[in-house]
Chain A
């Protein structure tokens, strides 16, 4: 084994240290990174549409498939501002036509609606807690609609050649189940490619990964992602078979009326 002289090691270490300090100085402020990451993940274009195939694999390897279309519009096309979501289920057959609608607000709890066709029931859902399962998957509601970057305090802990590594701690810890989460944000696109959720014991229990990123209409877009949860085991994958931006979605399709009669021209 070749010996590395102590002095060399020391000098290399000193350089690395200096480099990282320099990098940190060059890097944008942590809050800016968080804002940009949020915009890159949830606010591309003025509006958007995605057809999503979801596969939920439980701890025993048993699989359940769901397929749904997500429509989204940004109110006033403001990044990290108000948004409307419309989620329509196509499969499995017995939940076909089931729809969720979310009005995402900046400074108050979101409004959420649920439509169950078999009961012909439109129902408001109290959205006090957004960290509940999204239709039985390992993803939470908040993972689908986005967590506002203003809800956490962000610290840039490392800058690697490709990523900003951001630690985020909740401003209101009692509202969430994590103690902090760590984001690996791609420097060029600001897309978070990995998010690790830490519990109070400092252990990672839940991990999000963007497993595929495509450039669609000039916008880097996550087209496959995965969430696994060590506590319950198993994982959920989402693959986006169709992604379109700037369709000119009219705002009125994001109203209660359209829950019962899906806007066919946009969900095909």
Chain B
């Protein structure tokens, strides 16, 4: 007699009230601060977080670096608007379409507003559009012109074509602003933060709707995808999850035909989901892409135990014809398997707390909590609920109650008995099939491709996917990654003493120890030489770095020059300043032609790999300006030969409308360069390939100055969290596998039975991941999470099957009768479970987001596989190894029975 069950059956109404109240309180605690945030500041409001970047903790080095570099290079997240017209002969380059593009750019600039004292929205000054970028070109009479590429909306088609011609000549614009085929245009709209992209995109779409040119406007980019995901996530939670619940409800009705009765598992599922999600929000956690899946995971597990109880109840009621007595027997038999299945499932999910990914930790902990709540409510609410139903409502209830159909003759019963027969009589064949299957699965596993791409989280017909495909076909790529290069620190050359020696060499030439040595340089007068020598020695002792030394010495020389009375001294100091300037210039790594040639080589190599659409870097600007300074001659599209020539080319560039663009590619001290790399694919595997290619290039090519490189950008960050996810999951899975095994050995007081219980889940996981490898589905975020779900679900069936087999063996005393008994009610409970929950999750296929579809399909597949392997594999193994599992001495009963 179980005290919890007895207590529940004694006060059923109170218990129902408690469950109702519990749900209401949870809902209130979430709703109140969400709807009235100011009134209840001590409560946490519902917070949605759709940023995959948050898969990594904020202090994760790659994110810290990403944010630091975004700031240092003044980079922003970009919304990409592509304008494509395949019908028009010149694409979008006609007066009508470009006028609309002009209007769109002007409109985009206005999309900013004040919020919490900050200006938010579009950063107009960094907008990349035909009307907002500069063109440098020839303006007749050998003069060079800086002008807006498209200062006003073109009035004729010829003017429109001129815009194209100019843009295509500028490498930073060609294939970025203007498509490679010269038919399309892309606008890059920088926004102050990613989470505004949906709002900005919606406003742009409204504006675009007023255009009647023939072009198609596409909006994409990682920020859009991420923000849109949050929107769709809600749709999913509002539609797919309830649809799943409705289908589960319908299937249960098919089996049990008592609406009142099957309402109880739904109540258990609802209360558990509300409890888990409520606790998540109340504790201040965000609803993230991961945590939004908690309801989908908790629901099947919550219903699972209830279906076991109902199934058993349904089969046994005709025997006792008393709801209380039936429930007692049912709970008595199911208590221990249910408890242990809950423990194992909780262990499986809780182990996710060991992964290094915060949202996955939160997910694991709260699914575990949900599962635990589901257990509590199952063992209390279901008996209580049944007690509340009038006895007469069970009239004609139960399997044996159908007089026209013998228990053995329902379709399911027949199939299950056949299954039992095959599994035990043809055990060898069954085992052989499984072994071959596992071999194939292992091959599949070996072919698994680890890959993810947040844009592909949308189904292929989604606007974002269509835009993604269209723009990446036309342009260099909508996926951005950034590569920084900077000189490796070298304590020896970085010292003030070394800098002092360099200054002396710059003034006097080779072989002088001091500027006071006669014949150092004819322009240094003796008195100036003495002053300079003193200044150098003072600066060496007063400073600690090369930079500080040179800054101080430059200041001193400038002061001395201003103070000089005699022209001779003035010009001596002037020349000294120039000499110091040359040493300073040498530390300006990315003004050096040899270093720029190295960067240029790296850029060419990136294109050769075929992985990169295009890269934009400092050499592109230098070469373009140099060419236009020299009459636009194609052969002058090159890096000039000296550092001052580079510096003066860059100074010329700075006379444009957007000089600040320069410092998106290099820091003002010219010590760090940034390559903006456009990729056509946001697949992690492609980004990884680029990273590996650059590593190889940097290792095999000596830069003139030893350079170190580092990546940032959203496309890169995605690869980092995926890496952590895959290996974190593998570790936590191994850990929970071990925990579950120990639990099983403990439950059955037998290593053999413990190991046996692990067989179905091992097979299920192998088959599932083998299948993923064989069909070429990428191993992505949802797939990684599924391993813990399959561990939780697959072991459940094994526990039920093994526990009840042992009980049946105790009663029957021989294997054949045991098989007959087990493939009766216990097998039916498992089969019903598989069907109800397996099919119940197919509505997730309706979700517009691929991760949910994936979860839906694979939960179903996991359940079917776990059921099949439980019902075939376990009896087959038992048959073959009867001696091990059913030794002559009596099996220890799971629990001493009083009855």
Contact = CB atoms under 8 A, between A and B. Distances in A.
Interface of A: 58-60, 62, 64, 67, 90-96, 98, 114, 116-119, 121, 123-126, 128-129, 131-136, 141, 174, 201, 231-232, 241, 268
Contacts of B574: 90
Nearest to A89: B651
B654 interface: yes
A94 B648 CA distance: 7
Given A125-B145, A241-B562, A114 B582 contact: no
Nearest to B578: A93
Contacts of A114: 652
Contacts of A58: 660, 663, 668
B37 interface: no
Nearest to B651: A95
Contact of A116 (B145, B652, B658, B659): B652
A119 B145 contact: no
A193 to B, nearest CB: 26
Contacts of B648: 94-95, 98, 116-119
Contact of B656 (A62, A133, A174, A268): A133
B580 interface: yes
B640 interface: yes
Contacts of B567: 268
Contact of B143 (A64, A94, A118, A126): A126
B651 A118 contact: no
A132 B649 contact: no
Interface string B543-587: 000000000000000100010000100100010011011101100
Contacts of B570: 268
B643 to A, nearest CB: 6
Given A123-B629, A125-B143, A174-B152, A96 B651 contact: no
Contact of B629 (A67, A92, A116): A116
Contacts of B71: 60
A136 B649 CA distance: 12
B72 interface: yes
Would you list the 6 A-B pairs with minimal beta carbon distance, nearest first? A93-B581, A136-B654, A124-B143, A94-B647, A126-B139, A126-B145
A133 B827 CA distance: 81
B659 A133 contact: yes
B786 to A, nearest CB: 45
14 contacts: A90-B574, A93-B577, A93-B585, A94-B585, A94-B591, A117-B644, A118-B648, A119-B629, A123-B143, A129-B151, A133-B655, A134-B655, A174-B151, A231-B125
B74 interface: yes
Contacts of B146: 125-126, 129, 132
B501 to A, nearest CB: 18
B148 interface: yes
A136 B651 contact: yes
Interface string B748-771: 000000000000000000000000
B651 A232 contact: no
Contact of A64 (B562, B629, B668): B668
Contact of B640 (A118, A141, A174, A201): A118
Contacts of B584: 92-93
Given A91-B581, A119-B640, A232-B125, A132 B656 contact: yes
Given A126-B143, A132-B146, A136-B659, 10 more contacts: A59-B74, A98-B651, A116-B651, A118-B644, A119-B629, A123-B142, A128-B145, A133-B655, A174-B151, A231-B124
Interface string B657-670: 11110110001110
Contacts of A90: 574, 577
Interface in B694-744: none
B579 to A, nearest CB: 8
Contacts of B591: 94
Interface in B466-496: none
B110 A201 contact: yes
Contacts of A92: 581, 584-585, 647
Nearest to B577: A93
B645 A133 contact: no
A137 to B, nearest CB: 8
B141 interface: yes
B655 A94 contact: no
Contacts of B656: 132-133
B630 interface: yes
A118 B625 CA distance: 14
Interface in B123-177: 124-125, 134, 139-148, 151-152
A67 B559 CA distance: 13
B449 to A, nearest CB: 41
B581 A118 contact: no
B216 interface: no
B513 interface: no
A119 B578 contact: no
A67 B585 CA distance: 16
Interface in B619-678: 626, 629-630, 640, 642-645, 647-649, 651-652, 654-660, 662-663, 667-669
A252 B290 CA distance: 75
B647 A121 contact: no
A232 B660 contact: yes
B666 to A, nearest CB: 12
Contacts of B643: 94
Contacts of B581: 91-94, 96
A118 B645 contact: yes
Contacts of A174: 151-152
User: Which of B655, B657, B668 has the most A CB atoms < 10 Å from its CB?
Assistant: B655
A241 B563 CA distance: 12
A19 to B, nearest CB: 36
Interface in B296-352: none
Contacts of A128: 139, 145, 147
Contact of B657 (A124, A133, A201): A133
A95 B644 contact: yes
Interface string B580-605: 11101100100100000000000000
Nearest to B667: A62
Contacts of B658: 133
Contacts of B588: 94
B569 to A, nearest CB: 12
B642 A118 contact: yes
User: Which of A64, A119, A232 has the most B CB atoms < 10 Å from its CB?
Assistant: A119
Nearest to A133: B659
Contacts of B662: 136
A212 B226 CA distance: 51
A123 B570 CA distance: 30
Contact of B654 (A119, A129, A133): A133
Contact of B647 (A95, A124, A131, A231): A95
A125 B144 contact: yes
A93 B626 CA distance: 20
Given A93-B581, A98-B651, A60 B72 contact: yes
Contacts of A132: 134, 146, 655-657
Contacts of A64: 668
Nearest to B582: A93
Contacts of A62: 667-669
Contacts of B657: 129, 131-133
B558 to A, nearest CB: 8
Nearest to A59: B74
Contacts of A201: 110
Contact of B147 (A59, A93, A129): A129
A129 B145 CA distance: 9
Contacts of A129: 146-148, 151, 657
